[in-house]
Amino acid sequence: MKKLLLTTAALALSTGFAMADTVRLGTEGAYPPYNFINDKGEVDGFERELGDELCKRAALTCEWVTNDWDSIIPNLVSGNYDVIIAGMSITDERDEVIDFTQNYTLPDPSAYLAASAGVDVKTGVIAAQTGTIQASFVAESGATLVEYATPEETVAAVRNGEADAVLADRAFLAPIADDDAALELLEQMELIGGGVGLGLRESDTELKATLDGAIKSMKDDGTLNAMIDKWDIGLTF
């Protein structure tokens, strides 16, 4: 009897998603520790672990898809996957086009990685990835912005002296600074963006509610904080 009940519950849950049997999670796969491709060629990182846990809690079957950062939102609204889980900060302009769940990281200040501590970030040459909130920030700050297509190239630009510093999420830059003695993080940080959330189509209200609930439960029982600590993402809730 108990078993039967469980199945019906599962059925009731899944009928809500009869429309979406498999939930496809879209990520970039080039932004460690949030998401990256590991030696096995699979999506790995903080968001992989988080996404799998969320799917387990919400009783969803999930599948991982990688997509180029530039077209990650157009492909979501066009229905090629159902959720963006790619370290995407919640911003007003993005929020106009897609919906976000509640944030699963606290706003992480963006940091500068530079070759020397004496860089003046207000007047120097600052590298950023094209199309990121950091690029918009530098464009407005008065520093000379130089944009590269990939995160890898922005760091390379500092290594080879093309730029004085690179502005990116602290969690992305910290392991690089640890690994390379020639580079260091500046004291100054910039608070841009409002934490990272899952991006969904505005019409997918049901899925949004489910995932919101799952994130809430992970926040409540502390599993989310443990994950944030494990991957060194930043402040905990």
Q: What is the DSSP letter of 10?
A: H
Q: How far apart are CA 67 and CA 75, in angstroms?
A: 8
Residue showing tokens 């799917």: 55
The nearer residue to another protein, 139 or 237, going by C-beta atoms, is 139
203 binds another protein (CB under 8 A): yes
51 binds another protein (CB under 8 A): no
Question: Given the rule CB under 8 A, which of 1-9, 20-28, 112-120, 189-197 is the region that contacts another protein?
Answer: 20-28
- One residue of 84, 85, 111, 127 binding another protein per CB under 8 A: 127
Calculate the alpha carbon distances from 191 to 29, 66, 71, 81, 147 in Å.
24, 28, 25, 30, 20
- Residue 221 CB, nearest approach to another protein (Å): 27
**Beta-bridge mates of residue 168:** 111
The nearer residue to another protein, 8 or 203, going by C-beta atoms, is 203
| Other C-beta atoms lying within 10 Å of the C-beta of residue 2 | 5
- Residue 219 CB, nearest approach to another protein (Å): 25
Q: Which helix (H) or strand (E) covers residue 179, if one does?
A: helix 170-179
Q: How far apart are CA 63 and CA 75, in angstroms?
A: 16
- Interacting residues toward another protein by CB under 8 A: 18-22, 24, 29-30, 32-33, 36-42, 44-45, 63, 65-68, 70-71, 73-75, 77-80, 93-94, 97-98, 127, 130-131, 136, 139-140, 144-150, 152-153, 155-157, 159-162, 175-176, 178-179, 201-203
